[in-house]
């Protein structure tokens, strides 16, 4: 189960007022049966058969009948064993989200979201109790009660919604890099200079010293990426920008890392809040930062999708093509957002339909702040001196989705485009506005 699916399930639990329980399978991998012949050396303590006692242990081996921790196929064998059992109990599974199993009954439904040996159960109380009983009959289980901590995420249940954050993890990261007593800052990165030579995030220059292994640059990037991918979309752009210099970081880049840490120090308890009884409607925002990397003439793609006003999927990534205009860059960003939208629609529709939740099938609105780009995608590709070099596939795919009424591209002012958060460094007031608009809240304010 990926983080996006898990965030959607939490938003579904909040909007439908469902229960969430967590179970853990004890020694999960040992339940899998092997499909191939695998032999191993005789471990210490194993008694040899009588007719083999005269032979040395070094020339003997044993054939495995069950998977063990450490085998490459152990995870797959465990998944096959679990899915075979759940499907026999009338659960439904789909390749769109293969780690989600759903069972619907006359009185309700239960969704089992699997992450290795952790089973999150979301649904109505009676069906969850039945599922817990089924699992205990087949496997040795630990019943961890209501989901409060899962995959490094802290989950707080309030009367008006569900709050997801990583306060404990953030504190550990700050302490590991000796930034737990740093002075807090209001944004994760400084405003960049339009002068390429003065850009603090320019690549390493010939006369600059590259930081050695004594500076834990890559370790810091890894810690920040986990936060940015799970519950902290507000640091996604800054982390993505600094991760590009992992192979040859300089003191300037390390100062950028410390700037993010100082921002985290002042917003440790910031997370995603999924309100109860909200409309489960998918809405997207797409944007591009033209020449975000002026040194290699690359732009930045950014998009975010919200359900009930809170982010469930986001991305900040440098484009692989050289965009010759802001219109070109925005078209590429919108193309990427539409690709993500197609999967999100498939995943959410499958889960809701299998659970018996009635939803209106209508186009997903994606907001874009480039009026020329919106017009071209709505009215068709217009060949002109400024657009004839853009590959038609960037227009054709999005136009086909609009024609099939899967997406609806709408214009929005730049000041109201939440995807700005993922493409550029913003002033404090604008930054805080966008952070609030994607459902991020402080735990102390709930």
Same domain? For 406 and 306 the reply is: yes
Encode pLDDT of 186-211 as tens digits.
Answer: 999 988 776 777 888 888 888 888 88
Q: How far is CA 428 from CA 148, 188, 445, in A?
A: 32, 10, 19
Q: Output the pLDDT for position 382.
A: 65
Same domain? For 256 and 197 the reply is: yes
Same domain? For 181 and 284 the reply is: no
Give the number of other CB atoms < 10 A from CB of residue 69: 10
Q: Of all helices (H) and strands (E), which one includes residue 262?
A: helix 251-265
Q: Tell me the DSSP string of 371-414.
A: HHHHHHHHH-----TTTTTS-THHHHHHHHHHHTTSEEEEE--G
Q: Output the pLDDT for position 277.
A: 82
**Residue 143 covered by a domain:** yes
Same domain? For 144 and 11 the reply is: yes
Encode pLDDT of 380-420 as tens digits.
Answer: 666 677 777 888 888 889 999 999 999 999 999 999 999 99
User: Looking at the predicted structure, is the pLDDT value of residue 70 above 90?
Assistant: no
Q: Output the pLDDT for position 383.
A: 66
**Residue 60 covered by a domain:** no
Same domain? For 331 and 427 the reply is: yes
**Residue 82 covered by a domain:** yes
CATH number at residue 145: 3.30.310
Q: Which domain holds residue 146?
A: 3-25+78-161
Same domain? For 182 and 198 the reply is: yes
Same domain? For 184 and 151 the reply is: no
**Residue 14 covered by a domain:** yes
User: How high does pLDDT run on average in the chain?
Assistant: 91
pTM above 0.85, yes or no: yes
| Structural domain count, the chain | 3
How does 103-119 read in b/e, with b if 16+ C-beta sit within 10 Å?
A: bbeeebbbbbbbeebbb
Same domain? For 288 and 386 the reply is: yes
């Amino acid at each position: 189960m990926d983080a996006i699916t898990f965030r959607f399930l939490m938003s579904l639990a909040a909007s439908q007022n469902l229960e969430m329980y967590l179970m853990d399978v004890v020694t999960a991998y040992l339940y899998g049966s092997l499909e191939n012949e695998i032999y191993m050396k005789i471990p210490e303590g194993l008694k040899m058969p009588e007719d083999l006692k005269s032979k040395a242990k070094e020339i003997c081996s044993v054939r495995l009948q069950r998977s063990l921790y450490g085998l490459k196929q152990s995870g797959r064998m465990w998944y096959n064993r679990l899915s075979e059992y759940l499907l026999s109990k009338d659960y439904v599974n789909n390749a769109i989200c293969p780690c989600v199993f759903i069972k619907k009954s006359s009185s309700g439904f239960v969704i089992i979201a699997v992450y290795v040996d952790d089973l999150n159960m979301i649904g109505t109380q009676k069906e969850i109790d039945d599922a817990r009983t089924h699992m205990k009959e087949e496997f040795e289980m630990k019943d961890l009660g209501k989901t409060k901590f899962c995959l490094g995420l802290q989950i707080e249940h309030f009367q008006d919604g569900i709050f997801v954050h990583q306060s404990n993890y953030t504190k550990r990261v700050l302490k590991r890099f000796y930034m737990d007593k740093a002075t807090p800052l209001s944004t994760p990165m400084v405003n960049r200079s339009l002068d390429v030579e003065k850009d603090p995030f320019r690549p390493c220059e010939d006369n600059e010293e590259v930081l050695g292994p004594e500076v834990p640059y890559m370790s810091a990037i890894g810690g920040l990426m986990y936060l940015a991918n799970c519950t902290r979309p507000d640091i996604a752009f800054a982390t993505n920008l600094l991760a590009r210099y992992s192979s040859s970081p300089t003191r300037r880049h390390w100062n950028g890392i410390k700037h993010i840490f100082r921002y985290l120090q002042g917003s440790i308890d910031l997370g995603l809040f999924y309100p109860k009884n909200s409309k489960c409607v998918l809405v997207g925002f797409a944007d591009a930062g033209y020449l975000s990397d002026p040194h290699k003439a690359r732009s930045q793609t950014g998009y975010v999708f919200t359900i009930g006003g809170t982010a469930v999927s986001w991305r900040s990534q440098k484009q692989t093509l050289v965009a010759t205009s802001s219109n070109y860059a925005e078209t590429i960003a919108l193309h990427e957002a539409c690709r993500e939208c197609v999967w999100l629609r498939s995943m959410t529709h499958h889960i809701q339909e299998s659970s018996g939740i009635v939803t209106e099938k209508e186009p997903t609105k994606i907001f874009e702040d480039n009026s020329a780009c919106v017009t071209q995608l709505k009215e068709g590709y217009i060949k002109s001196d400024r657009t004839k070099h853009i590959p038609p596939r960037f227009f054709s795919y999005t136009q086909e989705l609009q024609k099939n009424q899967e997406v609806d591209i709408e214009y929005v002012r730049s000041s109201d485009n939440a995807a700005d958060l993922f493409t550029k460094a913003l002033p404090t007031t604008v930054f805080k506005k966008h952070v609030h608009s994607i459902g991020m809240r402080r735990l102390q304010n709930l």
